[in-house]
Amino acid sequence: MILATVKIKGTRPLLFHCFTPDTISLQKKERTGVAGNDPEEWKRTYTATSGGQLYLSSTYIFGCLRDAARYTKKGRGSIQSDLSATLQVIDDKILLNRFINNQGDITTNSSQAVYVDVQSIRNPATKGRNVRYRLGLSPGWETSFTLLWDVTLVNRTQMEAVCIDAGKLVGLADGRSIGMGRFEVVSFEANNAQKATS
């Protein structure tokens, strides 16, 4: 087994739109906005620590790398199934270098470190257009995470290639189909798991 610490830096905005316990409440709340246009939507769809540090779930990293593995060829196919079988993301929360402290002060100016992204989206069910309000991080966001995998299935060079492809071709979080969440790998440091844990 191999452990690798990967540090990445965002080259495109990262957009939050995750499912949280506040997304669907058991208690009735005052309605904000109208169907398809709720300016308060972003307040229910991001994750942050009690200190206001924004983070992503480890499942975002796993999904990003799994999708990127299809670009690393193995025979007539790819290493995607091998990577899915062996990859573990050790960190539960992938902490970002951005904070949110006062919800009232968030701007829609995308040059700010943290902002509200407002875009028109197409609802696939109704074919109509809705307005989506998402918390966004401007390029330059950073994070690091630790991966564990079986080197007999995916070697170190392949895993590093997958991480690079993930940043260039896949991206993290919401809006990936329009090129959001792209990043570059700043460092990739792999060690034997036994040495790293002793």
Q: Is the dihedral of CA 109, 112, 116, 117 positive or negative?
A: positive
Is the pLDDT confidence value at 39 over 80?
no
164-179 pLDDT tens trace: 999 999 999 999 989 9
The predicted pLDDT at position 104 comes to 61
Do the beta carbons of residue 130 and residue 120 sit within 8 Å? Answer: yes
Residue in the structure block whose two tokens are 């844990």: 197
The residue among 141, 139, 129 whose CA lies nearest residue 98 is 141
Q: In what order do the strands lie in the sheet with 14-15?
A: 14-15, 129-137, 114-122
Token couple for 148: 């564990």
d(CA 48, CA 54): 4
pLDDT band at 106 (very low <50, low <70, confident <90, very high): confident
pLDDT band at 20 (very low <50, low <70, confident <90, very high): low
d(CA 75, CA 142): 35
46-98 pLDDT tens trace: 999 999 999 999 999 999 999 999 999 998 999 999 999 999 999 999 999 99
Do the beta carbons of residue 141 and residue 9 sit within 8 Å? Answer: yes
- HSE, CB side, 13 Å, CA atoms: give it for residue 53: 10
pTM for this prediction: 0.85
136-189 pLDDT tens trace: 999 999 999 999 999 999 999 999 999 999 999 999 999 998 999 999 999 999
CA distances from 28 to 14, 35, 41, 67, 142 (A): 31, 16, 16, 38, 37
d(CA 117, CA 109): 8
Token couple for 115: 């902002």
